[in-house]
């Protein structure tokens, strides 16, 4: 009974963060949902053994491992993961031209996600964990298994790259869609 309650509380607190992280790592929404589901189920299974103070880091670590395994599996399979060029080509021009669609927050989110997918996984992870999910440098270093200085450097690089990408790639679409 206590375990269920504890699990529910942890799910309520961390599910969005885990989903955001998975969504940032994977291209597909269904895959991100699967990753979130799997991470939460693993949390349920290992809950008695997990230190409550490090649950958040444990969840992100589990999600990352699952996502990387999935990416590796997909890269070995028949459909290789799309390259950056594919993303640029996939850019929804028709939606951008349509003002109603551009005003839609889903569209803006999709744009943000596509921009993020242009970063390498290491930079992307650091950016999502720090900027989107609000983890501290030490926590990120723990999740990714890298030194804290590397986390800081990667975060700077990620910001620089995104800043460079934002005005160059479809600048007008981003600004138009953001002005609602």
Partner 1 sequence: MDDQLQRLVRELRSESCPPQVMDRVAQRIAREKGLRLRHAWRWAVALMILLVALGAWQKQAGRNAQRKAAVLEVKARADRARVAEQTAGALGYIGQALLEVAAQSQDSILKEAVPPLREGLETTKNKMIKNI
Please report whether residue 41 would count as binding partner 1 according to CB under 8 A: yes
Please report whether residue 87 would count as binding partner 1 according to CB under 8 A: no
Query: Site for partner 1 (CB under 8 A): which residue of 6, 27, 28, 33?
Result: 33
Give the distance, in angstroms, between the CA of residue 45 and the centroid of all CA atoms in the same chain: 24
164 membership: H or E segment, kind and range = helix 148-168
Residue 7 half-sphere exposure toward CB, CA atoms < 13 A: 15
Please report whether residue 88 would count as binding partner 1 according to CB under 8 A: no
CB 60 within 8 A of CB 18: yes
Name the minimum Å distance from CB 171 to partner 1: 9
Provide φ and ψ at 83, rounded to 5°: -90, 175
Query: Site for partner 1 (CB under 8 A): which residue of 105, 120, 136, 147?
Result: 105
- In which residue are the tokens 């969504």 written? 23
Cα dist from 136 to 108, 128, 141, whole Å: 27, 12, 9
Query: Site for partner 1 (CB under 8 A): which residue of 126, 128, 135, 141?
Result: 128
Binding site for partner 1 (CB under 8 A): 11, 15-16, 18-20, 23-24, 33, 36-37, 40-41, 44, 105, 108-109, 111-113, 115-116, 128, 131-132, 159, 162-163, 166-167, 174-175, 178
């Amino acid at each position: 009974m206590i375990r269920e309650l504890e699990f529910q509380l942890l799910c309520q607190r961390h599910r969005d963060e885990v989903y955001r992280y998975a969504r940032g790592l994977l291209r597909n929404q269904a895959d991100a949902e699967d990753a979130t589901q799997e991470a939460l189920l693993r949390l349920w299974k290992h809950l008695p053994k997990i230190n409550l103070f490090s649950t958040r880091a444990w969840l992100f670590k589990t999600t990352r491992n699952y996502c990387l395994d999935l990416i590796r599996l997909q890269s070995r399979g028949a459909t290789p993961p799309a390259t950056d060029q594919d993303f640029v080509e996939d850019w929804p021009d028709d939606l951008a031209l349509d003002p109603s669609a551009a005003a839609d927050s889903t569209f803006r989110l999709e744009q943000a996600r596509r921009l993020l997918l242009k970063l390498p996984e290491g930079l992307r992870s650091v950016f999502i964990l720090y900027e989107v999910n609000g983890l501290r440098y030490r926590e990120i270093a723990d999740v990714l298994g890298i030194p804290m200085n590397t986390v800081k450097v990667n975060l700077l690089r990620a910001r620089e790259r995104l800043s460079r990408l934002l005005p160059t790639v479809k600048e007008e679409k981003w600004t138009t869609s953001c002005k609602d």
